[in-house]
Amino acid sequence: MDHMEIKKEISKYVDTRLEDLWELSDYIYHHPEVGFKEYDTSKKLMDVLTDEGFCVEGKSGGLDTAFVASFSIGKVKKPRIDILCEYDALDLGEAMPTETRVAHACGHNIIAATGVGAGLALKYVLEKYELPGEIRIVGTPAEEGGGGKIIMQDNGVFDDTDAMILLHPTSGKSKIAGRCKTSVSYDVTYHGIPAHAGNHREKGVNAHDAAVICYTGIGLLRYQTTDDVQLFVRFVDVGKESGVIPSIAKLQIQIKSFNPNSVHMMTSKVKNCIKAGALASGCEVDMEEKIGYLGRIYNYTFEKYLRANFELLGEPLKEGMVDDNGGEDFGNLMRKVPGIMPYPSLITEKRVALHTVDYLKLVTSPRAKYVVGLGSKVMADTVVDLLLDPGIIEKARKEMEEELEKENM
């Protein structure tokens, strides 16, 4: 089978469908919905994929706005390769005007459109060249908070998947994602006893003091962590009474690292700092532990093919697999099934932070339309490489297992 010929066909096909894909991206942009509430968007995506001849099932993994759209020819449904779509929007907060408060400031409209684009191109070449295997476009809700992918994973949606790919737009030079961070956070509330700060101060129990002791303890802990650990602590509510011993104080604490074991090792120390605040001040404390996403890991086996396909399409890339400090639920998935993540750029000449109004402007730009085409092609090309040589997937799985083992050393 001639890989190059198939990839040329993919390019031509995506070019003929680019207006449709761009329209889809535009539709999603104009119907922003936050995590687990992407009713309109998921319906639109399922309708499009049904019309295109995919076998579409909604409510995957028990989530109302998740779906799986699969396609294969013949009986050989292996390897199974999943192309993941995200489509949740962000709530940018009270400072925004109501009409633009919920918006696609992380560009998930582009993720969904490119996922569909890659899927359509793959269906086209699977039929034309009678390629083996099964491709699935998987709609995964609530990446920005809630971890839709993890719920789907826990409910078995990815049990028989052999490899997965997820695109995310970025800024600066295009890149292939390396590691990101595992996190655990704590919402802490200290409850003291209010009392007049002058006349009856001995009757008060000061919640601010508890928070300061905790804050200081965590600040000192920073000197005794391994290099890869980040500790964040901030005050979120300190009460507004004046002349009174404050009876409430709230903190948010987060532990982050590339290595989940490093995060785990810090949790008991951080909890001790939280308890120390309560003990020293005499306050009661409520602490809610929130397990965040697991970090992504390297997969140089897949990276090699993805890079070659970006090069084929003329897109310059940063060297290597590029780490970032964020977190995302794809990290949980790619620790069970080998995966890879292309990050094509919406603006190559500078960096623009995700989740901002400036980034929101980029997700409908002419370059964004180009990225929808580029992303569809590069993912479809890479999936073709894997379908034609499942040995690559085998090697990638081994690499995944080795990467996970390294974290324990």
| Chain residues in the site for Zn ion (CB under 5 A) | 106
Nearer to Zn ion, 106 or 306 (CB): 106
Answer whether 261's CB lies under 8 Å from 408's CB.
yes
- Per DSSP, the three-state class of 105 is coil
**∠ CA 379-175-260 to the nearest 5 degrees?**
95
Contacts of 361 (CB under 8 A, 6+ apart): none
Nearer to Zn ion, 35 or 277 (CB): 35
The Cα–Cα gap between 65 and 43 comes to 8
Per the structure block, which two tokens stand in for 139? 């709609």
* Three-state secondary structure readout of 28-86: HHHCCCCCCCCHHHHHHHHHHHHHCCCEEEECHHHCCCCEEEEEECCCCCCCEEEEEEC
| Cα-based torsion angle of the residue sequence 35, 37, 38, 44 in order, rounded to the nearest 10 degrees | 170
Q: How far is the CB of 333 from Zn ion (least distance, A)?
A: 15
Nearer to Zn ion, 294 or 387 (CB): 294
Q: How far is the CB of 169 from Zn ion (least distance, A)?
A: 8
Q: How far is the CB of 264 from Zn ion (least distance, A)?
A: 26
Nearer to Zn ion, 38 or 52 (CB): 38
Nearer to Zn ion, 166 or 380 (CB): 166
Nearer to Zn ion, 106 or 248 (CB): 106
Phi and psi, residue 335, nearest 5°? -95, -5
Q: How far is the CB of 36 from Zn ion (least distance, A)?
A: 15
Please choose, from the candidates 292, 34, 272, 44, the residue with its C-alpha nearest in 3D space to the C-alpha of residue 150.
Answer: 292
How many Å is the maximal CA-CA distance in the chain? 88
Answer whether 384's CB lies under 8 Å from 79's CB.
no
Nearer to Zn ion, 54 or 343 (CB): 343
Nearer to Zn ion, 186 or 343 (CB): 343
Q: How far is the CB of 173 from Zn ion (least distance, A)?
A: 18
Q: Minimal CB distance to Zn ion: which residue?
A: 106
Q: How far is the CB of 27 from Zn ion (least distance, A)?
A: 18
Strands of 281-376 (E only): list them: 284-291, 317-322, 339-340, 342-343
Nearer to Zn ion, 106 or 274 (CB): 106
- Per DSSP, the three-state class of 294 is coil
Q: How far is the CB of 293 from Zn ion (least distance, A)?
A: 12
The Cα–Cα gap between 72 and 82 comes to 12
Nearer to Zn ion, 106 or 383 (CB): 106
User: What 8-state DSSP symbol labels residue 221?
Assistant: H
Q: How far is the CB of 100 from Zn ion (least distance, A)?
A: 18
Alpha helices for 222-363 (secondary structure H): 260-281, 300-312, 330-333, 357-362
Q: How far is the CB of 86 from Zn ion (least distance, A)?
A: 6
The Cα–Cα gap between 140 and 333 comes to 12
Please choose, from the candidates 58, 44, 60, 69, the residue with its C-alpha nearest in 3D space to the C-alpha of residue 123.
Answer: 69
Q: How far is the CB of 328 from Zn ion (least distance, A)?
A: 7
